[in-house]
Structure formats: C-alpha cells, structure tokens
Structure 1
C-alpha cells in the first residue's frame, strides 16, 4: 500500500486510545494514526479542516454521543468512513449507528490486530462486524418489514446492491460486472440516494429486509 490509511481515534478512555494508537504505529500494515480525540465536540471542530480516511468512534463519549458524531461527520466530512468500536452489544445502538452512517461495528474486546484489519476493510469498501453483532443483524431481518424503495433501483443498481450484500469489495464488483471502480462508486451513490441511506450497511439492511 503506497499511501497509508489516515486514521483518527475518537475515544474517551485515554489508556485504551493510547494502547491502540501504539499498536497501529508498530503494525506496519499501511495504517497510520493521525489524531486522538477524547470527545466528539473536539473531533467535530477539528476534523473538517484535515479529514482522515477512517474515524474509529466510540459510542459512549462525554457530551455528544458517538452515534450523533457519526451522523454529523457524514455531513461535515462526507468522505470520512466511520468504524464504531464500543462495548455496546444491544440492538438499538447497533442499528442507530448503522443508520447514522457507520460502515462497521466492532466490540472493544476485539484483538488490536482485528481492529486494524477492520480499518483496512472499511477503507477498501467492506463492512466489518464482530460475530456477535452480525448475529444480531441477522436476527433483525426476521422482523424487519420489506422496503418498497428498492423498486426505484435500476437493474444494474440491483446487481450492484446484491453484490454489496454478499460482502464484495468495489474492485470485485467492478470485475464481476465488467465496469470500472468509478462506475461502481457512481452506482453506489445513486443507490444511497434512492434508498435514503448514508452507508453500505444501511443499503444492505434494506436489501436483506426485502429479500429475507
């Protein structure tokens, strides 16, 4: 990887943030930590001036919550990809975070190596989740009503969304459909607009709800 993935940590537990920052520094996997913030307000004030590639966000922050921060970052810094890293395993925070625009959801007890891998996956178009979280998402689909918004998608957009739901990266989708990565990104943007979502996970939730 030629250009390091610029990553910031938004975490109020200083010892945890410092340990993760140090691990990122020595991991030699093409990820660099360019900042650590201990509250959402400070991050929201400073990040628009120098947006990172990925923001690792805790939910339980003092003052503004991590979920609200994700939603506001999506407006202030549309290109920033947000990865939730938290202790919360309950359904409500999970889906609130995904609806706000988070691209992945990991539990803090995940090994540091797994967290770094998740940062890389998010940057490459993936949506990493801890196994416990993935199980809750699957159970959710047993009750989630179908979304009629999917009818607004074109045949090609349906094809792209299906591959997104299967976990394919943008390059894999481009290869499968014989199109460029830029074209894939264009289709994804239109899918988000038509489904009124802000993230891959939001679109996949609606797709799987319809096709359960």
Structure 2
C-alpha cells in the first residue's frame, strides 16, 4: 500500500515536478497537489494524506498559517515544510507551528524522497543548513537561558554531525547507534524547541536577534 502525499506549492513547474518525482518513487502516491492553502482543512479532510509537503511561502498566506489552521482544526497529519529559507526565524516558527520537518527546495530529489520516508517513519527530517540554524538557536548568544532547551549531550552530537553534512546513516555509524535512534534524537530536538517556543521571551529574542 502506497503512502499518500499531499502537495502545496504555488510554482506550477515545481509543483508538477514534485508530483512526478514522488509518484515515480516506489511506495508513494500523490492524490492531489494545490497552488494555495485556501481550502486546506477541507482538502486534508477529503484526502487524509499520510504526509503533507508544504511550501512555506505562498500567497495568500504562508505555510505556517496553513499548518496552524490544520492544528486548530484538530488534524494531526504529518507535515514537512519545503522552503527556500534557512534563517532561524522561519525555522523557529515552523517548529512552533508543529511541523515534523523542515527541508530546503534545493534538496536533491533522492534526498527529498529519503526525508519524506524519515518523516513517515516517525523521524524529523532536517537538512544540514537547517541544522546550522537550529544549532544557533540552542547555543547562540541570543536564545535565552540554556535550560530553555536542555538538549542532551547525544542530541548535541547528532545536531553537530548534521551541521557537518553527515547523513542519518553516517551519523548512526559514527555514534554506534541505530538509524531509528538517530531519527528519535532529531525528533526530540524538534520537540524540545517546540515545547519551549511557548516562551514569548525566547521567541522575541530569536526574531530580533
């Protein structure tokens, strides 16, 4: 049985390219692809996808607002943000809204499919450039007290290897842990940031640097 992936992307060429890429990958199906979020709640209720791939910057509203609508409606479908942005403000807002992952549009096709698989298996896909921003969020001078995030030493190790461009498999080999454990560490990193994003002080510090 194939995983259903719903796509939201306003660029027609990219939207169609993503649809071809995903449907061409074994075990995946795209029931629909949309140019905007105008009817996102109804769309998701109709198709009930296993995962939603969402462009973060689309008129008339951005993907973060679209994701908030889903969560407000009680829909817990997995969401991976697809974006050209890798700045810490957008990363933070996406995590705060409840995205499972955050990857760049320039991600190679094979890697993008791999990331979708990670998200579907309970992981939280993160490209190396996004990991750099997350590392800044948890260790930079503008993020507030250290106890706000409390990453474990192993979670910090995983994050730093992501920054260095290691794949999940190479991280597992390097740290002598399983691939599933790597996924779990990355997911916990996101969860810790999301939990603590409720602090207005931290959010303000990140946004205003």
Report the TM-score, using the length of structure 1 for normalisation: 0.69
Q: In 2 relative to 1, CA 113–12 (structure 1 residues): closer, same or farther, beyond 3 Å?
A: same
Contact 1:104 1:128 in 2 (8 A): yes
Q: Which residue of 2 aligns with 1:6?
A: 4
C-alpha displacement of 1:146: 4.1
The SS at the match of 2:99 is coil
Please list, as runs of the form range in 1=range in 2, the aligned pairs for 1:27-106 lying within 5 A after superposition: 27-28=25-26, 30-106=27-103
C-alpha displacement of 1:42: 2.7
Contact 1:53 1:79 in 2 (8 A): no
Q: In 2 relative to 1, CA 13–128 (structure 1 residues): closer, same or farther, beyond 3 Å?
A: same
Q: Which residue of 1 aligns with 2:133?
A: 136
Q: Which residue of 2 aligns with 1:118?
A: 115
Please list, as runs of the form range in 1=range in 2, the aligned pairs for 1:167-178 lying within 5 A after superposition: 172=180
Q: In 2 relative to 1, CA 53–69 (structure 1 residues): closer, same or farther, beyond 3 Å?
A: same
Contact 2:40 2:70 in 1 (8 A): no
Report the TM-score, using the length of structure 2 for normalisation: 0.70
Contact 2:8 2:34 in 1 (8 A): yes
Structure 2: gaps (5+ residues): 159-167, 173-178, 198-209
Contact 1:5 1:120 in 2 (8 A): no
2-structure distance, mates of 1:97, 1:206: 9
1-structure distance, mates of 2:72, 2:194: 22
C-alpha displacement of 1:6: 0.8
Q: In 2 relative to 1, CA 130–77 (structure 1 residues): closer, same or farther, beyond 3 Å?
A: same
Structure 1: gaps (5+ residues): 151-158, 174-183, 185-198
The SS at the match of 2:137 is helix
Q: Which residue of 2 aligns with 1:18?
A: 16
Contact 1:7 1:54 in 2 (8 A): yes
Q: Please report the RMSD computed on the Cα atoms of aligned residues, expressed in angstroms.
A: 3.3
2-structure distance, mates of 1:200, 1:72: 24
Shifted more, 76-85 versus 52-61: the winner is 76-85
2-structure distance, mates of 1:118, 1:105: 9
